[in-house]
Amino acid sequence: MKQTGRWMWLVMALAVLLVASACGQSDKTSESSGANKGAGTANTAPSTEEAETPAANADAEPAMVAYQSAAGEVMVPANPERIVDLTAFTTGYFVALDAPVVGALTGAMNNKYIKDQLAAQGTADLGQLPTVEQLVELKPDLILVYAGTDGIDQLEKVAPVVQINYGELHFKDLMRELGKLTNREEAATTWIEQWETRIDELKPQVQQAVGDRTVSILNPYAGGVYVFGHNYGRGGEIIYGEFELKAPPKPQAEAIDSGTGFASISLEVLPEYAGDIIFTSRWSGDDSDPALVYDNPLWSSLPAVKNNHVFQLDPESDTYNDPMSLDGQLTFIADSLLAD
């Protein structure tokens, strides 16, 4: 989830771009005014009066406020209007807050719960790692990254950078924080209140339908099976957090009580981690064939499989745990459990 270790090329490229830009500006003279057609700026020097009275330009500068990020205090626009999110997992918060995102990573752009909204506002797909040209051309007034990302000092030359830690805050608390960051605290409060109303309505129904049965979240991958807990997406925040459903003892200890949010197991011990109800999907982090698990006799022998109590998650979009993704997951999880 972090881009750590992959930003060094960005640091070098951005530095070169800034130096080249400065040199290009210093080489301009009134004699070369015809050589830059299409540049959109005149080459004549400002008058003395213009140089000494920059009040008009000052009026266009956005108001700045102090914000406490994971890396300390940073000055940010009081009302950001061009946000670039380089975390992917936070983009849905901005969508829920109706905050303008001008650039996001491909993972967020392909998230089925927010892709239409991002397309409607013209958000640029930055790929897995943005190029220097993309970042500069987007002219962001705020950039969001994970703490510890390499090259932050260079990103700060493009726009104010706010650092966050993945999973440090409960999703409701992060919603409040990003509401504060974007000057949309009322919108954050409204979403939380509406969410809690839905949970209050659905929780007793789901708990009655599930009863004492246990629930597991399992992802086959190349090395075995991932077992997910309460804070790593894939519906865990809803299943174990909001609905307070029971996990089998081993997932409870290793993926939830440990605080890690997940555990990795071999196929041989799968029955010890499989609940009476299973939510599952292939692991999107590699290209392994999930049939190696799903077609294995050990999987077929699980009570949840025999009783048709297995529900397929979206392998890409359901990895996210932002408000928009949680809204969609809540509908799917509740409908699945209530119909079970």
pLDDT tens column, 294-311: 999 999 999 999 999 999
Specify the pLDDT at position 171.
Answer: 97
pLDDT of residue 284: 80
Beta-carbon contacts of residue 72 (< 8 Å; ≥ 6 apart): none
Distance CA(126)–CA(118), nearest Å, equals: 12
- In the sheet that holds 124-125, the strands lie side by side as 124-125, 101-104, 83-85, 142-146, 161-164
**What is the per-residue pLDDT across 114-153, written as a single tens digit (0 to 9) for each?**
999 999 999 999 999 887 778 989 999 999 999 988 888 8
Q: Among 28-37, 199-208, 212-221, 235-244, where is mean pLDDT lowest?
A: 28-37
State how far the alpha carbon of 340 is from the alpha carbons of 207, 242, 304, in Å: 12, 19, 11
Other Cβ atoms within 10 Å of 63 Cβ, number:
7
Question: What is the predicted pLDDT for the residue at 285?
Answer: 81
CA 95 remoteness from chain centre: 11
60 pLDDT tier (thresholds 50, 70, 90): low
β-bridge partners, 220 = 225
**Rounded alpha-carbon distances, angstroms, from residue 85 to 24, 75, 81, 124, 189:** 30, 17, 13, 11, 22
d(C-alpha 292, C-alpha 224), whole Å: 9
User: Is pLDDT at 30 greater than 80 in this prediction?
Assistant: no
Cα angle value 101/102/107 (rounded, 5°): 75
pLDDT, greater one: 250 or 150:
250
Spatial distance between the Cα atoms of 143 and 122, rounded to a whole number of angstroms:
17
pLDDT of residue 150: 83
Task: Take residue 236 and report the two structure tokens written for it.
Answer: 């865990």
State yes or no: pLDDT of 56 exceeds 60.
Answer: no
Q: Please work out, in degrees rounded to the nearest 5, the angle formed at the alpha carbon of residue 296 by the alpha carbons of 294 and 300.
A: 75
